[in-house]
Amino acid sequence: MRRSRWKESEIEDMLRELPKLKDDRTKAEVYARIYDKKKKKHWIPLFAGVASLFLMVVLASSFIIDKNGTTSREDSGSSGKLSLSESKEMADLERKDTSNQEKPSEDKQEAQEFSSNQAKIESKDKFSEMEQRKGEKEKTFEQAIYQDDLENASIITMGVPDDQMNFIVPISIKLKLKHHDESDTLNQLVNQMSDIDEAQYGLSDYFPLDIKISQGNDINTAHIDFPEKSQLLAEDTLFLHSMEETFSYNNIEKMTFSTEGKQGARFAHAGYLKEMDIPHQKNRTYLLYQRDESSPSFLVPSNMGYRDFEEALQAGKGEADIEGISPAIPHDLKWERISSNGDLVIIHLSDQAVIENSDETLQALEAILFIAKDFGFEKVKFENAPIEEVGKLNLTEDILVPEAPNQVN
C-alpha cells in the first residue's frame, strides 16, 4: 500500500487554516430533510410500476379484442351462416338499397304516365278549341234582333252603363215563349235585371236597382217606387237615361214615380217629378263600345242628337276621345246621296264604297239601320251595293230596321 506523503500533523494544520463553517440547523430539521428525500425516491419506482402495469393491460386488451374479432370474422366467413337477427338486419339493408334503386325508376314511370295523360288532355283541349272556332266561323254573325227572329219569342232590353259610366249600352235577351203576353214584360224585365252579369260584357255592375217596378195605369206605363233617400234620386241623370233606354225597347211610353208609396219623387237634378214620357225618336248616331279585346263589342247610341239623318251618319264615322269608344261606320263606306220616301230612307252608295260579307261590315250596316230607326224610319234601301248580301241582310231589297241591338244570348 502506498503511503501518503502528507503527515497527519500537516493535514490538521491545513484544516485549521480553512475558513470556519457554521450550520444553524437543528437536528430535527436535518432529519426531516433526509426523510423527505427518501420518501420521494420511494414514490418514483411505485409510479413507474403502476404506469407500466396500466400500459400492459391496455396492450393486452387490444390484442385480445383484435384476436376475437378476427376469429369471429373467420368463423363467419368459413361457415357462410349468420344469426337470425344478423340475417334480418342484412335483409332490411338489402331491401332499403333495392327500394332506393327502384324508386327513381318508379318516379320516372309516374312522370312519363303524367306527361302522357297531360299530352292527351292538351290534345283534346286543342281539338275542342279548333271545333269551337270552326263552329264560330261557320255561324252567321248576328248582333241585332229582327222581326223574323221573334216567332214565339220576346225581347228584354236593358240600358246598362259602360264601365266608365259615360254611355248607356242597350243589351238584349231573346226569350223563347209559346205564347207572348205583353202584360208580363215588366216582370220579365225585373227578373233579367236580377240575373244579368254585366261584368262579362265589360259593363258597370248596375243592376238590380233598389226600386220597385210595376205596371202603371195601362200596359204602356211603368211605375217606379223609390225607397226614402234612395241613391238613385241623387244619381238621377244616369238612372233616368238608363230607364229611358230600357223602356223604349220594351213598348213602354211613360214612367210614373212615387216615394215610399207617395206620389212623386224628388230628383237631385230633374227636380220633383210625378211622371216622364219615354221618347222613341232621339235623332242620335251610333258608335262602338268595347272595354278591351276580351270583351264583346256593342253598338251604343250617342248622348247627343243631330239635325238630320245624314249628319248623324257622318258622326258615326267620327273618332271619340273616350276610352272604349270607336267609330261604328268605317271611312271607306261612302255614299253619294241620301233621300227618303215616307218611312223609307234610301242610301245611294259610292262606286268606291267598300262592302264585304264580314262581321265588320255587318256591324256597320246595323249601325246605319239603328240610326235610321232613331230618326223614325222603318226601312232602309242600299243602292249600288257591290255585293248582294252581308250576313243575313239582302242588299237588293228594302231592309226592315231591327227590333233591338246587341243580342247577348
Phi, psi dihedrals of residue 253, rounded to the nearest 5°: -110, -15
Total-model pTM = 0.66
* Listed residue (137, 191, 148) closest to 394, CA to CA: 148
Query: Identity (one letter) of the amino acid at 247?
Result: F
Mean pLDDT of the chain: 80
Question: What 8-state DSSP symbol labels residue 356?
Answer: -
Q: Which of 19-28, 31-40, 162-171, 359-368 has the lowest mean pLDDT?
A: 31-40
| Cβ neighbours of 363 (radius 10 Å) | 22
- Cβ atoms 328, 367 nearer than 8 A: yes
Please tell me the predicted confidence (pLDDT) of residue 79.
40
Q: Read off the pLDDT of each residue in 126-139 and give the average, rounded to a whole number.
A: 40
Query: Which of 24-38, 175-189, 215-229, 308-322 has the least mean pLDDT?
Result: 24-38
Give the pLDDT score at 76. 41
Measured between alpha carbons, how far is 149 from 136 in angstroms, rounded to an integer?
19
Distance CA 245, CA 162 (A): 13
**3 state DSSP class of 295:** coil
Cell of 296: 264583346
pLDDT in tens, 148-171: 998 888 899 999 999 999 999 999
Tens digit of each residue's pLDDT (9 = 90 or more) over 44-63? 556 666 667 777 766 666 55
pLDDT digits (tens, 9 = 90+) for 213-257: 999 999 999 999 999 999 999 999 999 999 999 999 998 999 999
Region of 84 (left: φ > 0; alpha: ψ -120 to 50; beta: rest) is: alpha
Summarize pLDDT for 169-184 with one digit per residue, the tens. Answer: 999 999 987 555 666 8
Q: Give me the mean pLDDT over the 315-328 stretch.
A: 93
- Largest Cα–Cα distance of the chain, in whole Å? 183
CA angle 57, 62, 65 (to 5 degrees): 120
Assess contact for 337 and 309: CB atoms under 8 A.
Answer: no
